[in-house]
Amino acid sequence: MSTPHNSAKNGDIAKTVLMPGDPLRAKYIAENFLDDARLVNEVRGMYAYTGSYKGEAVSVMASGMGMPSIGIYSYELFSFYEVENIIRIGTAGGISENIHLRDVILAIASCTASSYADQYGLPCRPAAAASYDLLKKADEAAEKAGIDVHVGTILCSDTFYNDTGSLADWRKMNVLAVEMESAALYYNAARTGKNALCICTVSDCPLTGEECSADERQSTFNDMINIALETAIQC
């Protein structure tokens, strides 16, 4: 089946999908980490590839930026393509004093002020939490590979340019970093009974002004990709 946003056919997409925001990062992963990767979607430039990693089928598909975008693509993957697991692999801005450039974060949960969950009609905003099974597998994969990771809570924001200056307040709540997609992914996984995990690499630290280049963001954050792939083949 195809959708307005995805031209892949039944069977084109694996049960586990790695989901970067940047379509060029999806292409980079397919070309450098997957065997026999083939392009299965390019609608709106949101590249999706399916190949194999260590003999196991894995797909990688871009999500675009922000909760509305990943909300569409992850919902369609979960609901129409029989995908069971989505592992977001993206960048984040470090908030905690203990977080530095290129650090890898496994997000237990995602705080958000977004109205995304209002669609469920609940009396309060539900917790946006990772699948424990995926989180455990990713933590074990990182340890086996000798990659240090931070495991904790992140902030999912609707805005990249924010005038409130509130990031320092989130630091007080022991929030590790900020990004823009995790909460919608976690909500979609919960609503559809599927599994999701957000793995992020710190690309900048807004409170200190440190940042990586655009090229570095696109193609050099390999630790999180390796963790995600090792997690994927355990699913």
Q: Would you please indicate which residues are annotated as catalytic (active-site) residues?
A: 204
Q: How far is CA 109 from CA 7, 104, 174, 209, 218, in A?
A: 31, 15, 12, 25, 25
Domain assignment of residue 176, yes or no: yes
Q: Rounded to an integer, what distance in angstroms lies between the CA atom of residue 47 and that of residue 23? A: 5
As given in the structure block, the two tokens for residue 129 are: 């939490």
pLDDT in tens, the chain (235 residues): 689 899 999 999 999 999 999 999 999 999 999 999 999 999 999 999 999 999 999 999 999 999 999 999 999 999 999 999 999 999 999 999 999 999 999 999 999 999 999 999 999 999 999 999 999 999 999 999 999 999 999 999 999 887 777 888 999 999 999 999 999 999 999 999 999 999 999 999 988 988 988 777 766 689 999 999 999 999 9
- Give the total number of structural domains in the chain: 1
Domain assignment of residue 5, yes or no: no
DSSP 3-state of 129? strand
For residue 126, give the DSSP letter.
Answer: P
Domain assignment of residue 171, yes or no: yes
* CA proximity to 54, closest of 38, 33, 40: 33
Summarize pLDDT for 126-162 with one digit per residue, the tens.
999 999 999 999 999 999 999 999 999 999 999 988 7
Look over the chain and give the mean of its residue pLDDT values, rounded to a whole number: 95
Domain assignment of residue 192, yes or no: yes
pTM of the model: 0.96
* CA proximity to 156, closest of 95, 225, 230, 221: 95
Q: How many residues does the chain have?
A: 235
Domain assignment of residue 214, yes or no: yes
Domain assignment of residue 4, yes or no: no
Domain assignment of residue 56, yes or no: yes
- Residues of the domain holding 226: 16-232
Tell me, what CATH number does 112's domain have?
A: 3.40.50.1580
Residue 56: exposed, middle, or buried by beta-carbon count in 10 A (0-12, 13-18, 19+)? middle
Domain assignment of residue 68, yes or no: yes
